[in-house]
Amino acid sequence: MKKIFLVGSPFCGSTVVGNILNSHPHIFHAGEVDRLRIFSRYHGADAYLNVDGCTLCGLHHGLECPVWDNLPAAPQTPEEAVAVYETLIARGGKQVCVDGSKNVDWLASLHDHGLQDACAIVLSRNPFAFARSHHKAVFDPYWRGVEIWRNIYNHCLRALLHRAIPFIVISHSMMLENPDEFFSMILKFAGLRGGVDCHRYFEVEAHAVGGNVGAFLSYSQFNKAKYFEREAQQNRPADEEELTEKSMQSASPFERSDSAWMEALSLADIDAGLSIPGVADVMSLLGYSPAALVAAKIEWDLAKQKADVPPPAVSLRYPGHHAAQNAVLEQVVVV
């Protein structure tokens, strides 16, 4: 079984990407496997992130999960953790397993202690879109979110390169601009033929661990009442208004956008972020054009002033960046 790890920042869209990939007949989206309690990845203030099973089955008391029920005892050594990990993801029964843990240190730990056939997709979100989401979550200033974004992706690239782990870089904005190209690149990297169903992926059985709850709202198994009950019991009252708003949005990436950051951040905020040493360098490595991003923001502001309507979406990528990547991927042997 090939193991593909989605690595990157929070709010990068890994859950919905994994769920869409799960609609391919040879892919199992395992979700954030590092959150399983037996691996003890989260402690202290983050202990609530630990789970014992998948997101959907976990909302139904007494419902057995065919993948994650009857978990083994917690591994005692890193080598045991690799063996347990291999055993658990094999339950997915597919040719490729997608691990959406996002934490490159999780991948590094498994790789360093014997995990075979691992590769990675660095899934990025533009730094200002991340900064807005980070601000909503913890109220940090936008510049601080951009700095955190730089640190996360710099660390991802360094960890992968130092270990010679095969990887590609692909952006969340590309999924929204051109979903067909986005998922075609991933399938080529995985060595798979066929395609995914971006429109009805939520009709395919899913047993992903953890992840953004918004990515599960379209699944018939999602139980909103049970979700609110669980969050209240764990002292994390959910925002019912926000969840309702998300449930009214289309589940298809063809009908979604990621432009809220343009509304929230000013040009001064963007200038402050780009002034942080290393931010523009990491953006370039991930395929973003700082100049195109600033131009898109200016165009957005002018359109709002003139007609109070947003302009058409503008690509934030360097011209030809992913075209060049596709040329490389054409050399991958597809089986």
- Locus of tokens 């075609």: 184
Establish if 152 belongs to a structural domain.
Answer: yes
Per-residue pLDDT, 212: 86
On the CB side of 240, CA atoms within 13 Å amount to 6
In which domain, by residue range, is 204 found? 2-255+320-329
pLDDT tens digits, 150-186? 999 999 999 999 999 999 999 999 999 999 999 999 9
- The average confidence (pLDDT) of the chain is 88
Q: Which two tokens stand for residue 107?
A: 């991948």
Q: Which CATH number belongs to the domain containing residue 32 in this structure?
A: 3.40.50.300
pLDDT (mean) for 97-108? 96
pLDDT (mean) for 101-111? 96
Q: Work out the pLDDT band at 62, boundaries 50, 70, 90.
A: low
pLDDT (mean) for 197-222? 92
Q: Among residues 127, 120, 124, 81, which one has the least CA distance to residue 104?
A: 120
Q: Which two tokens stand for residue 97?
A: 């397993």
Residue 68 reports pLDDT greater than 60: yes
pTM as predicted: 0.89
Q: Which two tokens stand for residue 296?
A: 């898109």
Establish if 194 belongs to a structural domain.
Answer: yes
CB 133 within 8 A of CB 14: no
- H-run or E-run covering 123: strand 118-124
Q: What are phi and psi of 135, to 5 degrees?
A: -60, -45
Establish if 142 belongs to a structural domain.
Answer: yes
Q: Work out the pLDDT band at 82, boundaries 50, 70, 90.
A: very high
Query: Given the DSSP bridges, would you call strands 27-31 and 2-8 parallel, antiparallel or unpaired?
Result: unpaired
Establish if 68 belongs to a structural domain.
Answer: yes
Per-residue pLDDT, 328: 40
Report the domain count for the chain: 1
Per-residue pLDDT, 326: 46
Establish if 178 belongs to a structural domain.
Answer: yes
Per-residue pLDDT, 310: 60
Establish if 313 belongs to a structural domain.
Answer: no
Per-residue pLDDT, 317: 66
Establish if 218 belongs to a structural domain.
Answer: yes
Establish if 306 belongs to a structural domain.
Answer: no
Q: Work out the pLDDT band at 28, boundaries 50, 70, 90.
A: very high
CA–CA gap between residue 101 and residue 34 (Å, rounded) = 6
pLDDT tens digits, 127-147? 999 999 999 989 999 999 999
pLDDT tens digits, 270-295? 999 999 999 999 999 999 999 999 99
